[in-house]
A and B are shown apart, each in its own frame.
Chain A
Amino acid sequence: MTCIKRPIFLFIALFSLIFISCEKLLVEPSLPPSSSTSRLLLYMHSTSFTPPDITFVISDIKLQAEDDRWINLADGPIDISAAALVDRQILLKEAAVTPGLYKGIKLTISTAYMMGRSGNVNFALPQPGGEVALKSNISLKPRDSFVACLAWNPEKSLEKGYLFQPSIEVEPQIPSARELLLFISNSASNYISVIDRSLERVIGAVTVGDRPMGMVLNATKDRLYVVNSGSRTISIIDTTQFFVLDTIQLTAGIEPTDIAIIPDDKNSIEGKLYITNRLSNDVTVVSTTTKRVVTTIAVGTYPSAIAADTVRKEIYVTNKLSNNMSIISAMDNSLVANIAVDNRPMGIVVGKDKLYVFNEGSNRISVISPSLRKVVSTISVEGPPRRGMQGFSDQLFVVNTAADTLTFLNAQDVATRTIPVGNKPIGLAGDEKRNRLYITNLGDNTVSLIDPIGERKLKELFVGRSPYGALLLER
């Protein structure tokens, strides 16, 4: 583009005026952008591990504004069971709310009972009208997301043996130690869920751009970079206080999805981000220092996943429709090799002196030597394998998205077991200090917690819509 002279500026202004004046002639857009509302996520969990078997039904939930107005959040019925809430958390409601300060939450309970030998034993409800008023201190800023947790103690919810007076406290969103955090990108929403791995609960949410997908942490673990595929931006999130520090506009590439980082130095805050663009068949390089696009690198057709080796300073990209993977040198951002793999490579993992490429179309994992730059062996799995991770003494964990299963492979790359997880599992993260594996399930809005040693599913957490990526912070 060369120099654009002054008349062009006048043209732009005139063009703008025409649009303004002709607005009514245009077809109305489907939904106006909502830049003035906030998101409130209401969760509930039980504080008792051996509760009495109480069940109650919430018919509606209201929020009390600072001026004492009541805002309807949810019309039930929502069944709450003490037994089902043991060591679990459920999402009561995700609501768009006007920003402001809210000082109370009111639950209206329609029924409360306990399972007895001869049937349900109904309890008397709190008065008036089964309403339970809870004090809260919820401050919602425009475009922010906020998680409020209702902590229910079933053991202290019965008075005189017949009156159901639930003991519930509202826990507002507060940070946890950074080393305990797990971030989940909800690709059909526009926020990141933050999970405390010690509590095994959602404790926070951060509004980002449209359709967040891939995520990566910088070397000092204080900045989280999230690719927003729908809005073509990267959100930079502070990992201590859960808010967006800055937004980088991606001015190159079509449909960015996945991201990797090469730090400038071992302990450097800054580095280079590499983002795959599915429809333009290239990788965009962004500097975190200048927050601008540095260059784009052509790779194969439909780049589907990306991973980085920070020691070799190499970037690996799988290309779904050209049945190969590309190797990019981060030293000069040049394509150095293309290696043929099997049909529809959709995921890649950097292991110890090996790369694992998950070929969804052929039920096979290609094992590649980055030194020799060729496939050295292949592993057949029940499949179809889509993504994976290596950890817990060199075990390999593979999600088979189309089959809703997770396959465990031992250190000799032999499959030992396949278990069902949620609907369309796709993202993985592993916590070796706690023996926990986290799997995002795209199809049922949950995160499965897996025992990687016992090869069994433990429980599920409810997050946002279509959770895609999982990334945990560990130092």
Chain B
Amino acid sequence: MLFNIKKSSEKPRPKRRGVTGFTHMFLLSHKDGSITFYYTGKRSNGRMRLLLLLLAVVFMSVIRPDNAVAAVYGRADMSYQKTTSTTAGQTAESSSLSQGYSLGFNHALTSAITIAGDVRWSMYDTGTKQTEDVYPVFYLTYTPPSMYYLSFSYNRNEYIPPGGDRIAISNMNASFALPLEKWPSLALSYNLSTTSDYLYPHKIDTETENKNLNTNYNIIFLETSANLNYSYSDPVTKDNVAKTKSETPSHQVSANLSRPFWDQRIQTGVNIGYNQAENINESLGAPVQFEQKITASDGLYLITATPAIGALASTPALIDNNTGASAGIDLNGINRNIGLRFATAESVHKINLYISTSDPNIATYVNNSPTYFGWQLYISSDGTNWTLFGTPTASYDAAYSRIVFTFTETSALYFKVVNTLFPAGALTINVTEIEAIGFFNSTPTVKLTSVTKRDFGGLNISFAPITRLSMNYNINYDHSTRDVSRFETTGVNQGGGLSLIVVPEYLNLTTNYTTSTTKSSRETTTGQTSALEAGTNSYALSLSTTPLPTLNASLNYGYNESLTDGDVSSTSNSTSGNIFMRLYKGVNLGLTSTLSASKDLKANSTTDAASHSANLNLVPWRPLTIVVNGGISDSATQQAGAETHSSGKTLNANLSYTPTRSLYLAASFTIEPTSSQSYSATWLPTRNTQVSARYGSAGNATNMGGDFSWTPIYRLVLHIGYTGTQTDNMTHDHSEAIFASASLNL
């Protein structure tokens, strides 16, 4: 039996609704013929049922007294982490303590039946919030001959998102699968996941349901291998707060056939597949307009005190789908003009601005924007002359770390937000991404359905008439349509290659060719049609030789061109050669030279570049390895009649030294382009102890760290560690992190 005893405490204790429903869990696992049962009881009956569990174990053990002794195991896991960082005189601290303890037993009643139980208690404390959960589990395993796989399970856990309230997540799963090697082949799975907070009314309350069916057959008939697959999936997401539901039932069928001919000299393969998915968006309340993200063609940014006039600089980092890295923009000043541009005019009603900051007051600043930011929204048709649209409503979405601007839907080619104020004293607020949101449907509706159909396939042929020659050709296509917004895309890739051993060991030739074309079109939110055709062509040729065991070389050529709407938009080609020599025992040298030329026809620029690099690997004696890498590069770019040059050097070395099994020393030096160095040492004074220390410096930053691991007794491991960084600047920024962990395994 499984009992879910729930206990949580928060500082301070907020009012909350009663605990949602059930805590029973029943797991039946039948893997290669084994069945496992888990069962839980409600909290109020937990202790009684645990007692009944123990009695059941004792009773079953009594029946088989020769197997009365059960194997007991226990695990304890604790980790603590504290981070302190000081930037520009302001200090931010965070800490977390995680503990997990489990105690279990298992007992083989017979050769086919095993009884086992496990109790796991986990606690997570971040200093201001604390969560505790207890998960006792009891299961019975039955292992008959391999017939089928069956499992049911339920579990529940909680987490605390940054700046948010405690979130409870529960999962119920059911799986059934027949062994792959048997007929029929069938795999079914069902998952129901609920996520909700403890507020009333809820801010987060979603249910996600996944149903999946998969059947797969491998058939061999008259030298033909065939794989046939059908799969069905139906993910459903219900948002009880927004009162919306989305469902995407999808069917896919695919076939792969392969057959050799002429004594395996010719290998052929064909694949074909079809997928149809229906995207159903439903309002569970009044008719609504469903939202969609509108793809921008460029991000824009400039600091200017005259937002009504002037073009912004192209900033692709704002729309690179990366909310983890700063786009080089901060909000710690006024007149930040941050925007985006579309290929054609789009109707937008919301803009999300993703940020990254460790300031604990960010929600207050954003939710009181008229006081702290003073946001204004501008639109434009040419990117130079801007019209003030108004003051958007700004709110902070902690779950996604973003500022959400909402305003009356309007159409334009360019959008931007500008802050006229900024919160003085705030820690650095970096902007990472911007995105625009529009509506799928212009008039509110209760249900919106779109169907996406995709068909794909390909052919692959390889021919090796003799062992020294092989050729291959392949072609693949992919075509998909979606009725809403009349989206259609067709892609065709094809390529071929040849590999020839001209003179064994002395000359090998490899060449290949690839071409790809993608055509796509869609209807914009303003009813216009946007179409795009893109393609690439690539050629490559390589000659390689290994005349001696201590010498090899290769010469390579590659050409690549990109096409837009059928016209070549850019080209690049490169010629490179590399040679490797084993100069002496323990002395290896590799040299590479590359000449490349690229042309951007749209920007009317050409770039010629040359680079030369060397790799020296020294092993003067077995415990010591030295690797030295160096290189020089030079490039010249011509654009609009002007020529710019750039050159670079790289030089670095890595040393690693292991004089004994218990000592390891390493050092890395970078001399070019910028100087840096790092050292590390690891010492094992005993077989149960390991100590390591690290030190490094790069520019005006110094970092150091160390950790200590100790296993005083069998299955008990202790770790402590420290990492620190100091920056030699005006404000003496520094950060430190310490961690400690202990794990005990009985």
CB-defined A-B contacts under 8 Å, sample of 11: A3-B22, A29-B112, A287-B159, A292-B157, A293-B171, A321-B231, A377-B538, A378-B493, A380-B513, A412-B574, A453-B615
**Known contacts A279-B177, A296-B171, A416-B554, A240 near B709 by CB under 8 Å:** yes
Q: How far is the CB of A141 from chain B (nearest CB, A)?
A: 8
- Point out the residues of chain A lying under 8 angstroms from B557, CB to CB: 414
**Known contacts A20-B60, A313-B324, A321-B254, A451 near B588 by CB under 8 Å:** yes
B212 touches A280 (CB 8 A): yes
Stretch at the interface among B268-276, B332-340, B361-369: B268-276
Q: How far is the CB of B144 from chain A (nearest CB, A)?
A: 6
**Known contacts A287-B159, A292-B155, A301-B231, A416 near B715 by CB under 8 Å:** no
- Point out the residues of chain B lying under 8 angstroms from A8, CB to CB: 39
- Point out the residues of chain A lying under 8 angstroms from B112, CB to CB: 19, 23, 26, 28-29
A246-B745, A331-B323 given; name 9 further pairs at CB < 8 Å. A1-B152, A177-B658, A251-B154, A267-B739, A296-B173, A362-B458, A381-B512, A451-B588, A475-B694
Q: How far is the CB of A396 from chain B (nearest CB, A)?
A: 13
Contact with A along B120-134 (1 / 0, CB 8 A): 101010000000010
A296 touches B745 (CB 8 A): no
- Point out the residues of chain A lying under 8 angstroms from B172, CB to CB: 1
Q: How far is the CB of B64 from chain A (nearest CB, A)?
A: 7
- Point out the residues of chain A lying under 8 angstroms from B737, CB to CB: 267
- Point out the residues of chain B lying under 8 angstroms from A371, CB to CB: 316, 319-322
A23 touches B580 (CB 8 A): no
Q: Is A83 an interface residue (CB 8 A)?
A: no
Q: Is A72 an interface residue (CB 8 A)?
A: no
For chain B, the count of residues having a C-beta within 8 Å of the partner chain is 179
B322 touches A312 (CB 8 A): yes
Near A by CB (< 8 A), chain B positions 684-742 give 684, 687-688, 690, 692, 694, 709, 711, 714-715, 717, 719, 721, 723, 737, 739, 741
B576 touches A269 (CB 8 A): no
- Point out the residues of chain B lying under 8 angstroms from A243, CB to CB: 715, 745
Near B by CB (< 8 A), chain A positions 431-473 give 432-435, 451, 453-456
- Point out the residues of chain B lying under 8 angstroms from A453, CB to CB: 580, 588, 590, 615, 617
Near A by CB (< 8 A), chain B positions 514-533 give 514, 516, 518
A218 CA to B112 CA in the complex, in Å?
A: 37
B400 touches A254 (CB 8 A): no
B60 touches A16 (CB 8 A): yes
**How would you classify the secondary structure of chain A's contact residues: helix, strand, loop or mixed?**
loop
Q: A35, A238, A246, A414: which contacts B540 (Cβ < 8 A)?
A: A414
B187 touches A279 (CB 8 A): yes
Stretch at the interface among B26-34, B303-311, B420-428: B26-34
A20 touches B169 (CB 8 A): no
**Known contacts A251-B155, A269-B739, A381-B512, A290 near B133 by CB under 8 Å:** yes
B120 touches A291 (CB 8 A): yes
A290 CA to B101 CA in the complex, in Å?
A: 10
Binding site for B on A (CB under 8 A): 1-4, 8-9, 12-13, 16-17, 19-20, 23, 26-30, 32-33, 35, 49, 141, 174-180, 198-199, 220, 222, 230-232, 238, 240-241, 243-246, 251-255, 265, 267-270, 277, 279-282, 287, 289-296, 298, 301-302, 309-314, 321-323, 331-332, 340, 342-344, 361-364, 370-371, 373-383, 393, 410-418, 432-435, 451, 453-456, 475
- Point out the residues of chain A lying under 8 angstroms from B472, CB to CB: 363, 382-383
Near A by CB (< 8 A), chain B positions 584-620 give 588, 590, 592, 594, 596, 613, 615, 617
- Point out the residues of chain B lying under 8 angstroms from A380, CB to CB: 495-497, 512-514, 538, 540
B499 touches A382 (CB 8 A): yes
Q: Is B478 an interface residue (CB 8 A)?
A: yes
Q: B111, B115, B480: which contacts A28 (Cβ < 8 A)?
A: B111
Q: How far is the CB of B743 from chain A (nearest CB, A)?
A: 5
- Point out the residues of chain A lying under 8 angstroms from B169, CB to CB: 294-295
A283 CA to B193 CA in the complex, in Å?
A: 13
Nearest opposing residue in chain A for B169, CB measure: A294
Nearest opposing residue in chain B for A32, CB measure: B111
A321 touches B458 (CB 8 A): no
Q: Is B670 an interface residue (CB 8 A)?
A: no
Q: A29, A180, A363: which contacts B111 (Cβ < 8 A)?
A: A29
A175 touches B684 (CB 8 A): yes
A370 CA to B177 CA in the complex, in Å?
A: 35
Contact with A along B188-224 (1 / 0, CB 8 A): 0101010000000000000010101010100000000
A29 touches B33 (CB 8 A): yes
- Point out the residues of chain B lying under 8 angstroms from A323, CB to CB: 271, 273, 456, 476, 478
Stretch at the interface among B408-416, B438-446, B623-631: B623-631
- Point out the residues of chain B lying under 8 angstroms from A373, CB to CB: 321
> Lowest 5 A-B CB distances belong to which pairs?
A371-B320, A251-B153, A380-B512, A177-B664, A177-B682
Q: Is B325 an interface residue (CB 8 A)?
A: yes
Nearest opposing residue in chain A for B114, CB measure: A33
B580 touches A198 (CB 8 A): no
A198 CA to B31 CA in the complex, in Å?
A: 41
**Known contacts A198-B664, A245-B743, A370 near B321 by CB under 8 Å:** yes
Q: Is B431 an interface residue (CB 8 A)?
A: no
Nearest opposing residue in chain B for A335, CB measure: B235
- Point out the residues of chain B lying under 8 angstroms from A375, CB to CB: 491, 516, 518
- Point out the residues of chain A lying under 8 angstroms from B458, CB to CB: 342-343, 361-362
A293 touches B456 (CB 8 A): no
Q: Is B1 an interface residue (CB 8 A)?
A: yes
Q: How far is the CB of B660 from chain A (nearest CB, A)?
A: 10
A117 CA to B690 CA in the complex, in Å?
A: 51
Nearest opposing residue in chain A for B53, CB measure: A9
**Known contacts A381-B512, A416-B554, A455-B552, A294 near B157 by CB under 8 Å:** yes
Q: Is B560 an interface residue (CB 8 A)?
A: yes
- Point out the residues of chain B lying under 8 angstroms from A255, CB to CB: 177
Contact with A along B569-584 (1 / 0, CB 8 A): 0000010101010100
A295 touches B460 (CB 8 A): no
A435 CA to B587 CA in the complex, in Å?
A: 12
Q: B153, B254, B399, B493: which contacts A362 (Cβ < 8 A)?
A: B493
A92 CA to B335 CA in the complex, in Å?
A: 73
Q: How far is the CB of B164 from chain A (nearest CB, A)?
A: 12
A90 CA to B513 CA in the complex, in Å?
A: 43
A175 touches B687 (CB 8 A): yes
**Known contacts A16-B60, A20-B63, A252-B173, A414 near B690 by CB under 8 Å:** no
- Point out the residues of chain A lying under 8 angstroms from B508, CB to CB: 417
A311 touches B159 (CB 8 A): no
A454 touches B588 (CB 8 A): yes
A177 CA to B684 CA in the complex, in Å?
A: 7
B495 touches A378 (CB 8 A): yes
Nearest opposing residue in chain A for B550, CB measure: A454
Q: A232, A279, A296, A417: which contacts B31 (Cβ < 8 A)?
A: A232
Near A by CB (< 8 A), chain B positions 82-134 give 83, 98, 100, 102, 106, 108-115, 120, 122, 124, 133
- Point out the residues of chain B lying under 8 angstroms from A252, CB to CB: 153, 171, 173, 175, 189, 191
- Point out the residues of chain A lying under 8 angstroms from B476, CB to CB: 323, 342-343, 362, 364
- Point out the residues of chain B lying under 8 angstroms from A454, CB to CB: 552, 580, 582, 588, 590
Nearest opposing residue in chain A for B176, CB measure: A254
Q: B514, B574, B578: which contacts A364 (Cβ < 8 A)?
A: B514
A456 CA to B233 CA in the complex, in Å?
A: 46
B682 touches A178 (CB 8 A): yes
Q: How far is the CB of B296 from chain A (nearest CB, A)?
A: 11
B558 touches A413 (CB 8 A): yes
A332 CA to B42 CA in the complex, in Å?
A: 30
**Known contacts A1-B154, A414-B574, A311 near B322 by CB under 8 Å:** yes
Q: Is B666 an interface residue (CB 8 A)?
A: yes
**Known contacts A2-B22, A9-B39, A19-B142, A412 near B576 by CB under 8 Å:** yes
Q: How far is the CB of A345 from chain B (nearest CB, A)?
A: 11
Q: How far is the CB of B26 from chain A (nearest CB, A)?
A: 6
A176 touches B661 (CB 8 A): yes
